[in-house]
């Protein structure tokens, strides 16, 4: 009897030691994992042991770190533009629009966003659903939460919040967290929503009780339209216009960080930036400079341009979305 008790005690001690060692190994493989699990338990009621087990299944991916250091938005405009403004992507947009015309029209009318803008964002993000990402979202978010590239401005706190939101999303939408796939940054579905955006802006437009951004085109298009509307999109309002630049004009007004319009067109005209379009002089605008193959071009940008940059905070991205939207609409109307 005593021998059995002693053996049982040894087993318990051994299991406890293994558990401690496993947690220690996990903390070493994902620095900060234990603190994250404790925060998940305190702030959202997750079981800390289950969170550690989930993180134990998350794999560090060197390819994700490498991808973060060479984003497409680091290219010059003339290089970036041709990724998205080509015959195949334009024709693909026309085809996608025609195939899902009723659903796209419903999303556009429900949320007050032009249909070509919805089509274009999905076209830029995932090639109309052809490329939604091959990384496990769990791996992507864990890698960028706990192993963010040291040579870049530290955004690990952002990805840690997204990892937490991913866990919340898993509970809310009953997603299999170990199986869900997305981009190297953890974005998901046809419109590439980060977990926080999924939680906040995704909609159930098809009314089946779930917000499915992978296989429900209704939910995906509705969610993209809702995202734009919630960030201030105004249908029928200008997005951007090429600027004429007076000789000797200073480049001081050029936007370099936030793309929220701050000056009126009359203010910018006084500084040497004008447009041939008939837009009220009191309209607020910004100035963006793009690097073309034959020199720089300057563009007046308006509130709707700023809204697109809320989706991806890059002037190149916003210009590509707008240009593709216009090209797809023109091709569709041409028959």
Catalytic annotation, residues? 125
Secondary-structure percent of the chain, ordered helix, strand, coil, rounded to 5:
55, 10, 35
In the three-class reduction of DSSP (H, G, I as helix; E, B as strand; rest coil), residue 261 is classed as coil
Contacts of 177 (CB under 8 A, 6+ apart): 54, 137, 138, 166, 167, 170
Q: Are 161 and 196 in contact (CB under 8 A)?
A: yes
- For 34, 106, 164, 178, the CA distances from 39, given in Å and listed in that order, are 9, 41, 9, 20
- CA R_g for the chain: 24
SS3 of 99-150: the string is HCHHHHHHHHHHHCCCHHHHHHHHHHHHCCCCCCCCEEHHHHHHHHHHCCCC
CA gap 55, 27 in Å, rounded = 10
SS3 of 270-286: the string is HCCEECCCCCCCCCEEE
Strand ranges across the sheet with 284-292: 240-242, 295-301, 284-292, 263-264
- Name the phi and psi angles at 300, rounded to 5: -80, 135
* CB-count exposure of residue 35 (10 Å: 0-12, 13-18, 19+): exposed
Sign of CA dihedral 197, 233, 189, 172: positive
């Amino acid at each position: 009897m005593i021998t059995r008790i002693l053996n049982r005690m040894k087993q318990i001690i051994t299991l406890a030691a293994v558990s401690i060692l496993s947690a220690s190994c996990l903390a070493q493989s994902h620095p900060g994992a234990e603190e994250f699990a404790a925060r998940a338990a305190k702030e959202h009621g997750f079981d800390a042991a289950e969170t550690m087990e989930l993180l134990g299944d998350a794999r560090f991916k060197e390819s994700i770190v490498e991808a973060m250091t060479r984003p497409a938005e680091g290219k010059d405009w003339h290089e970036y533009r041709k990724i998205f403004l080509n015959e195949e992507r334009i024709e693909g947009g026309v085809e996608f629009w025609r195939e899902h015309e009723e659903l796209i029209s419903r999303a556009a009318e429900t949320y007050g966003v032009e249909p070509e803008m919805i089509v274009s964002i999905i076209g830029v993000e995932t090639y109309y659903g052809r490329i939604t990402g091959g990384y496990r979202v769990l791996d992507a978010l864990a890698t960028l939460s706990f192993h963010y590239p040291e040579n870049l401005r530290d955004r690990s706190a952002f990805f840690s919040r997204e990892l937490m939101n991913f866990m919340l999303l898993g509970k809310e939408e009953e997603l299999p967290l170990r199986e869900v796939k997305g981009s190297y940054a953890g974005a998901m579905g046809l419109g590439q929503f980060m977990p926080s955006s999924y939680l906040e802006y995704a909609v159930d437009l098809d009314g089946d009780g779930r917000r499915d951004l992978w296989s429900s085109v209704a939910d995906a298009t509705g969610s993209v339209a809702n995202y734009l509307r919630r960030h201030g999109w105004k249908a029928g309002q200008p997005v951007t216009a090429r600027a004429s630049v007076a000789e000797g004009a200073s480049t001081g007004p050029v936007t370099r960080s936030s793309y929220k319009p701050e000056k009126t067109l009359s203010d910018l005209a006084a500084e040497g930036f004008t447009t041939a379009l008939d837009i009220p002089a009191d309209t607020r605008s910004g100035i963006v400079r793009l690097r073309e193959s034959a020199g720089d071009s300057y563009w007046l940008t308006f509130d709707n341009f700023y809204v697109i940059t809320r989706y991806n905070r890059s002037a190149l991205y916003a210009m590509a979305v707008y240009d593709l939207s216009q090209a797809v609409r023109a091709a569709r109307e041409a028959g």
